[in-house]
């Protein structure tokens, strides 16, 4: 954990002047790796916990104040949400109190089949957190849904794998966002606006879909 804490503080070092000038409202950590749920998971969890602590605390002698941030989490790391609660796992969950929002980044959906079915499947990690009670349930209430516009198709990012039409993608996206909003989330985290996701038409489509979800959240 010691080296993780130092790494987190070094991240804050790079942001210090921008934070003081009001250019940065929160830090982001990308990401909690799949390995935290593997056979060597404890080592990864301890290192990650140190990073989160270092990011939150910064360096008090240099004038840093505690600062919450956004953490992205691999979809395949979510088995820890339902794992048996041990002392060290509880410590990681308590580190979550330092987060402004947790976000499942790599669990973006494949645009295929019924959007509502995909939404339910992709919400499994959030449901596991909610069932866990305590710090887990608190994290589930601050959960953001990670999404991409969908036109960059990779194994980890999902997307428009069947090369469907723009109209089809737009309908699917709205249905998915509406379904996730109805399940109760803190918001949506859209990312990866690299070409061809950076087209003005795509960005407009995404903003309109997100507006539907935001209105549903009230």
Per-residue pLDDT tens digits of the chain, which is 218 residues long: 899 999 999 999 999 999 999 999 889 998 899 999 999 999 999 999 999 999 999 999 999 999 988 888 888 888 998 888 888 888 888 877 666 655 554 457 899 999 999 999 999 989 999 999 988 898 899 899 999 999 999 887 889 999 999 999 999 999 999 999 999 999 998 999 999 999 999 999 999 999 999 999 98
Q: What tokens does 2 get?
A: 């010691």
| Residue 153 DSSP SS3 | coil
> How far lies 175's CA from each of 33, 59, 134, 209, in Å?
29, 45, 31, 9
In the prediction, which pLDDT does 91 show? 87
Phi, psi of 190 (to 5 degrees): -90, 135
pTM equals 0.85
DSSP string across 166-216: HHHHHHHHHHHHHHHHHH--SEEEE----TTTT-HHHHHHHHHHHHHHHHH
In the prediction, which pLDDT does 101 show? 59
């Amino acid at each position: 954990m010691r080296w993780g804490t130092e790494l987190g503080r070094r991240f804050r070092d790079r942001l210090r002047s921008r934070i003081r000038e009001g250019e940065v409202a929160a830090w982001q950590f990308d990401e909690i790796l799949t390995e935290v749920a593997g056979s060597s998971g404890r080592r990864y969890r301890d290192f990650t916990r140190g990073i989160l602590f270092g990011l939150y605390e910064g360096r008090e002698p240099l004038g840093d104040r505690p600062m919450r941030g956004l953490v992205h989490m691999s979809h395949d790391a979510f088995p820890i949400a339902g794992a048996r609660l041990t002392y060290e796992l509880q410590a990681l969950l308590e580190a979550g109190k330092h987060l402004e929002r947790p976000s499942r980044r790599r669990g973006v959906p494949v645009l295929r089949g019924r959007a509502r079915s995909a939404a339910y499947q992709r919400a499994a990690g959030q449901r596991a957190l909610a069932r866990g009670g305590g710090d887990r349930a608190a994290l589930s209430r601050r959960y953001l849904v990670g999404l991409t516009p969908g036109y960059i198709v990779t194994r980890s990012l999902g997307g428009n794998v069947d090369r469907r039409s723009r109209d089809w993608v737009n309908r699917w996206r709205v249905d998915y966002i509406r379904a996730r909003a109805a399940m109760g989330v803190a918001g949506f985290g859209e990312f990866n606006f690299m070409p061809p996701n950076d087209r003005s038409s795509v960005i407009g489509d995404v903003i309109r879909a997100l507006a539907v979800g935001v209105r549903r959240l009230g």
